[in-house]
Amino acid sequence: MYRRSFLQTIGGGALAALPGWAAGRVKLGLDVYSLRAFRWKAMRLLDFAASQKLDAVQMSVDNFESTDPAHLAAVKAKADGYGIRIDAGTGRICPTTAKWNHRETPVEYIAEGLRVARAVGSKSVRCYVGNIGSRGGDPPFEAHVASTLKVLKAAKSRVIDSGVRLAIENHGDFEARELKALIEEAGADMVGCCLDTGNPLHVMEDPLLTLEVLGPYALTTHVRDSAVFGYSRGAAFQWVALGDGSIDFHEWTARYRDICPEVPMQLEIITGRPPYLLPFYEKSFWKSFPNKPAADFNRFLRLVRNGHPFLGRMVIAGGDDMPDVYREALREQQRVDVERSARYAKQELGVGRS
Would you say residue 38 lies in a domain?
Answer: yes
**Amino acid, res. 78:** K
Would you say residue 91 lies in a domain?
Answer: yes
Would you say residue 304 lies in a domain?
Answer: yes
Burial 1-22 (b: 16+ CB within 10 A, else e): eeeeeebeeeebeebbeeeeee
Res 102: pLDDT: 85
Predicted model pTM: 0.92
- Distance from the Cα of residue 286 to its chain's centroid: 25
Would you say residue 14 lies in a domain?
Answer: yes
* pLDDT, tens digit, 9 for 90 and up, residues 93-113: 999 998 888 889 999 999 999
In the chain, how long is the greatest CA-to-CA distance? Answer: 57
Q: Where are the beta strands (DSSP E) in 50-84?
A: 56-60
Q: Give the structural domain span for 107.
A: 2-349
Would you say residue 354 lies in a domain?
Answer: no
* pLDDT, tens digit, 9 for 90 and up, residues 191-225: 999 999 999 999 999 999 999 999 999 999 999 99
Would you say residue 164 lies in a domain?
Answer: yes
Measure the CA angle with vertex 157, ends 156 and 159; round to 5°.
Answer: 65
* pLDDT, tens digit, 9 for 90 and up, residues 41-61: 999 999 999 999 999 999 999
What CATH code is carried by the domain that includes residue 232? 3.20.20.150
Q: CA 101, CA 120: separation in Å to the nearest integer? A: 25
Residue 256's closest CA among 351, 181, 174, 122? 351
Q: How many domains does the chain have?
A: 1
- Taking the alpha carbons at both ends of the chain, their separation in whole angstroms is 28
- Range 92-95 contact pairs with CB under 8 angstroms and sequence separation of 24 or more: 92/127, 92/128, 92/129, 92/130, 93/127, 93/128, 93/129, 93/148, 93/151, 93/166, 93/168, 94/129, 94/130, 94/144, 94/147, 94/148, 94/151, 95/147, 95/151
* Residue ranges, the chain, pLDDT below 70: 1-23
